[in-house]
């Protein structure tokens, strides 16, 4: 079994300015490939200490993955130091040089001399394109060690790993590892775990809960010498999980609640508009983060004040005065009216109290009403969320999307 | 200066199930105490590999802080392994033993033999009470090294560190460390560094660039034997940085672009509405993420379709047909109209092409127009952003907020 070690370079880690989520991500992926990670080390932007780490790592690991320190500044010294340790020269990659030049030309920004550093790599490296930034990564082999160098920012590292490093590492092992993530919404994490406690003990395939962002995920991982066999093992587990969780499973793998809802709307040829109060645009932001959203999403109203609810969205002032802006009645009108003025098939609304202030005994922080209008149908769901302002807002947006998913797939909306 | 090293023990870290937020927290606290952290290492629940880490750490550090592996199970072996490495016996702490027994009595749970493990400590240890769990921590000194052992769960580790470890470490150092973060928008990271390259070499105070999310940050850190002296050192550097970057500095420490803009609006007693196309609600979501936003933010329109721009926001159909939805003219009308229909002082608009599709040679992906309307004034800024959909959207929202910040503070809007 291959042994891998992760070295993350960056003084910001040692100063405690950020937690190392890169090492977490890479370790999770390596585990799914059947590669053992025995050590993760964080070291500063310091040549001698990085050399020390490389010496230790090359004595005990087959694969060394380094993250961070690929930027254009003086502090960024990962490639130089790794090249020195392995006795390799740094050479210019012409393609990268041209790309960096055109990047600066396009954004009409001045290019400084230190930007050229990003086009230098240890000789013999395979270059890993950076589709989300200027610093490419690289892979080389020397003295029987495989060395992978990746940029630090997660928005650059994650796609680079998925597109270029994962296939490379996968090719090193005879074991076929297949995994699938099942995403569940509407049941709490500890309840999910209790419901599948026997499965969590299984050795192959394994079933493991992951920390999700607003929902619960279970990762199924199967190991075999044959892809089809591994897939079959996973399919069988998925069938069992679907028997247990049924309609609470909203997607698998890269699915997000918003991508699922958008695809359902596209399939049905239906259009959507939204009216938000306490979420302040989070719902529409999630929906429009999916490429191609404009096919189905037409309009969103952030009616943050009572006046805008009344004057722009046409919510009855009488209703707001009698029931309050945070009420079933207001949520109902918001959903119906936004649907009507934007001439869409669906209207989805959220009104609530995100906190930290604004709560009362009758209407506490976390109280949210979600409205869904479709033709003459209208549904309102009352929600009480725990947690801070961010959590209340996220939970509200997720529940609104789930309500729409349920309507689009003919499921019961209230549960 | 004292050198410290953090070793976190737990296979869950190596499997990528969690990120190591303990190391982040401890490092941040140590930095504030003027103690250098040169290495953070994560290792599994494995005796021989932990011994290896202890050997490396004791050769290069004065203080070793270990986290995790204090539980009652077979896997938990931190105290045993550390005691073995330093040649110390494990001895029972009677107080801890009594506490554990009464804990189980109180919660009416059965106490198993392995729970007694939690009352064993390396001889000569000072016990650190655990006010939020059953596993206490400890501190001992041996061979000139100070060793601190803490439980892994952050809810137990953080209060234990603050109450017992922080005072202990503070007593080791006479130095006072003060730091301040300066936030810059509108100049690229590498250019910022070129502009302060001499300051980056300074030893005390130090100036270091940090990774920002859509902006650039510089952290100034001063060390002294007196708080006032340290603050004065920082003030002097801030004055120099303000001379260099002037209006590009939008905030310090915990300020965000949105909190700064909201406070400026509050101070002026002005109100705001927004009209977004490609950002799909990201701008309003950022603004409303600040508690108390409702005082100044009244309404946001996400006019994602041409029809909604025309019918709801009242943008002239003639303008959209002649100049396109992504144009200076449309941005202008969106800003002016949203201000007028919501009766706010300011109207802020964004229209552009976030990609990945929808770009042409004349109007490429990344092209964005931002409009700002105030009374009869109207400003439009043209922007070309690099990167993927998320980056284009984030950069657009940040530029829109910065444009408003500049107007509110009487600065030039176009730069």
User: Six-digit token pair at B46?
Assistant: 């494995």
So where are chain B's domains? 3-170, 176-252, 257-408
Closest CA to B23 of B81, B78, B65: B65
Q: Are A337 and A315 in contact (CB under 8 A)?
A: yes
> Tens digits of per-residue pLDDT, A91-115?
999 999 998 888 888 777 777 778 8
- Residue of B23, B31, B357 with shortest CB distance to A291: B357
Q: Band the pLDDT of B308: cuts 50, 70, 90.
A: very high
Residues 115-134 of A with CB under 8 A from B: 115, 131-133
Contact A107 B386 (CB under 8 A): yes
Whether A73 has its CB under 8 Å from any CB of chain B: the answer is yes
Average pLDDT, chain B: 93
The answer, yes or no, to whether residue B212 has pLDDT greater than 70, is no
Whether A263 has its CB under 8 Å from any CB of chain B: the answer is no
Distance from CA of B355 to the nearest CA of A (A): 7
Question: Exposed/middle/buried for B286, CB within 10 Å: 0-12, 13-18, 19+?
Answer: buried
> Tens digits of per-residue pLDDT, B216-271?
999 898 988 888 999 999 999 999 999 999 999 999 998 999 999 999 999 999 99
By C-alpha distance, the chain A residue nearest B42 is A40
Beta carbons within 10 angstroms of residue B174's beta carbon:
9
Whether B104 has its CB under 8 Å from any CB of chain A: the answer is no
Residues from chain B that touch A29, judged by Cβ atoms under 8 A, are: 16
Q: Band the pLDDT of B415: cuts 50, 70, 90.
A: low
Q: What pLDDT is recorded for position B107?
A: 65
> Tens digits of per-residue pLDDT, A384-410?
988 789 889 999 999 999 999 999 999
Q: What pLDDT is recorded for position A212?
A: 63
ipTM computed for the complex? 0.78
Residue from B8, B14, B197, B344 to probe the interface with A (highest A Cβ count within 10 Å): B14
* Torsion angle of the four alpha carbons B290, A283, B387, A42, in this order, in degrees rounded to the nearest 10: 60
Residue from A14, A77, A166, A274 to probe the interface with B (highest B Cβ count within 10 Å): A14
The answer, yes or no, to whether residue B211 has pLDDT greater than 70, is no
Residues from chain B that touch A131, judged by Cβ atoms under 8 A, are: 388
Residue from B289, B302, B352 to probe the interface with A (highest A Cβ count within 10 Å): B302
Distance from CA of B298 to the nearest CA of A (A): 5
Contact A28 B17 (CB under 8 A): yes
Residues 227-246 of A with CB under 8 A from B: none
Whether B272 has its CB under 8 Å from any CB of chain A: the answer is no
Whether B21 has its CB under 8 Å from any CB of chain A: the answer is yes
Distance from CA of B220 to the nearest CA of A (A): 12
- Residue of A39, A152, A283 with shortest CB distance to B42: A39
Contact A285 B280 (CB under 8 A): yes
Task: For residues B100 and B102, give the distance between their C-alpha atoms in angstroms, rounded to a whole number.
Answer: 5
- Residue of B56, B208, B300 with shortest CB distance to A281: B300
Task: For residues A100 and A131, give the distance between their C-alpha atoms in angstroms, rounded to a whole number.
Answer: 12
Residue from B42, B54, B206, B334 to probe the interface with A (highest A Cβ count within 10 Å): B42
Give the A:B interface size as CB pairs under 8 Å: 281
Q: What pLDDT is recorded for position A177?
A: 78
Task: For residues A268 and B185, give the distance between their C-alpha atoms in angstroms, rounded to a whole number.
Answer: 43
> Tens digits of per-residue pLDDT, B8-64?
999 889 988 889 999 999 998 998 788 889 999 999 989 999 999 999 999 999 999
Residues from chain B that touch A285, judged by Cβ atoms under 8 A, are: 279-282, 285
> Tens digits of per-residue pLDDT, A228-240?
999 999 999 999 9
Whether A18 has its CB under 8 Å from any CB of chain B: the answer is yes
- Strand ranges, E, within A29-92: 36-43, 63-67, 90-92
Task: For residues B357 and B389, give the distance between their C-alpha atoms in angstroms, rounded to a whole number.
Answer: 10
By C-alpha distance, the chain A residue nearest B304 is A298
**A275-279, B175-179, B277-281, B301-305: the lowest-pLDDT one:** B175-179
| 3-state SS, residue A244 | helix
Question: Which element (helix H / strand E) includes A156?
Answer: helix A154-160
Residues 296-315 of B with CB under 8 A from A: 297-305, 307-308, 311-312
- DSSP 8-state class, residue A117: G
Distance from CA of B5 to the nearest CA of A (A): 9
- The verdict on domain B257-408 having CATH code 3.90.950.20 is yes
Contact A297 B280 (CB under 8 A): yes
Closest CA to A155 of B186, B397, B390: B390
Ranges under pLDDT 50 in chain A: none
Q: What pLDDT is recorded for position B59?
A: 95
Average pLDDT, stretch B173-181?
A: 82
Measured CA distances, A281 to A363, B276, B279, B304 (Å): 22, 10, 10, 13
Longest dimension (CA), chain A: 78
Distance from CA of B325 to the nearest CA of A (A): 13
By C-alpha distance, the chain B residue nearest A117 is B190
Residue from A308, A313, A365 to probe the interface with B (highest B Cβ count within 10 Å): A308
The answer, yes or no, to whether residue B111 has pLDDT greater than 80, is no
- Strand ranges, E, within A364-411: 367-374, 377-384
Is the link from the previous residue into B24 a cis peptide, with omega within 30 of 0? no
Query: Thinking of the domain B176-252, which architecture would CATH place it in?
Result: 2-Layer Sandwich (3.30)
Question: Which element (helix H / strand E) includes A297?
Answer: strand A297-303
Average pLDDT, stretch B381-386?
A: 93
Provide CB contacts within 8 A for B81, sequence distance 6+: B47, B50, B51, B54
Beta bridge partners of B64: B5, B147
Question: Exposed/middle/buried for A14, CB within 10 Å: 0-12, 13-18, 19+?
Answer: buried
Q: Are A275 and A334 in contact (CB under 8 A)?
A: yes
Q: Return the CATH superfamily for domain A3-170.
A: MoaB/Mog-like domain (3.40.980.10)
Task: For residues B370 and B400, give the distance between their C-alpha atoms in angstroms, rounded to a whole number.
Answer: 6
By C-alpha distance, the chain B residue nearest A280 is B285
Q: What pLDDT is recorded for position A113?
A: 77
> Tens digits of per-residue pLDDT, B344-356?
999 999 999 999 9
Contact A280 B289 (CB under 8 A): yes
Percentage of chain B modeled with pLDDT above 70 = 99
Q: Band the pLDDT of B319: cuts 50, 70, 90.
A: very high
């Amino acid at each position: 079994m291959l042994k891998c070690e992760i070295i993350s370079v960056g003084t910001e880690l040692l100063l405690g300015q950020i937690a190392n989520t890169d090492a977490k991500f890479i370790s999770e992926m390596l585990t799914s490939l059947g590669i053992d990670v025995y050590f993760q080390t964080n070291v500063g932007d310091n040549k001698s200490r990085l050399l020390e780490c490389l010496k230790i790592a090359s004595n005990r690991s087959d694969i060394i993955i380094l993250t961070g320190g690929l930027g254009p500044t003086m502090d960024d010294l990962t490639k130089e130091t790794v090249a020195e340790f392995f006795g390799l020269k740094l050479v210019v990659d012409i393609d990268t040089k041209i790309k960096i030049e055109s990047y600066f030309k396009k954004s009409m920004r001045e290019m400084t001399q230190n930007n050229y550093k990003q086009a230098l790599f240890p000789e013999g490296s395979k270059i890993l394109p950076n589709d989300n930034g200027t610093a490419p990564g690289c892979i080389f082999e020397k003295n029987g060690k495989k060395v992978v160098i990746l940029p630090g920012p997660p928005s650059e590292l994650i796609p680079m790993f998925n597109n270029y490093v994962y296939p490379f590492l996968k090719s090193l092992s005879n074991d076929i590892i297949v995994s699938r993530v099942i995403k569940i919404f509407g049941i709490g994490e500890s309840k999910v775990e209790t419901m599948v406690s026997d499965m969590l003990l299984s050795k192959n395939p394994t079933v493991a809960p992951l920390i999700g962002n607003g929902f619960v995920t279970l990762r199924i991982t199967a190991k075999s010498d044959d892809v089809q066999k591994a897939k079959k093992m996973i399919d069988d587990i998925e069938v069992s999980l679907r028997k247990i969780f049924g309609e609470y499973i909203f997607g698998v793998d890269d699915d997000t609640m918003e991508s699922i809802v958008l695809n359902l709307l596209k399939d049905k040829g239906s259009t959507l508009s939204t009216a938000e109060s306490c979420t302040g645009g989070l719902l529409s932001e999630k929906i429009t983060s999916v490429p191609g959203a404009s096919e189905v999403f037409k309009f969103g109203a952030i009616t943050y004040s009572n006046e805008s609810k009344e004057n722009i969205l046409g919510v009855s002032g009488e209703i707001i005065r009698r029931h309050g802006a945070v009420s079933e009645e207001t949520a109902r009108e918001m959903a119906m009216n936004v649907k009507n003025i934007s001439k869409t098939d669906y209207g989805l609304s959220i009104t609530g109290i995100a906190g930290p202030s604004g709560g009362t005994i009758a209407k506490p922080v976390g109280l949210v009403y979600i409205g869904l209008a479709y033709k003459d149908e209208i549904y309102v769901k009352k929600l009480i969320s725990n947690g801070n302002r961010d959590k209340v807002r996220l939970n509200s947006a997720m529940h609104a999307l789930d309500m729409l998913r349920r309507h689009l797939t003919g499921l019961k909306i209230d549960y």
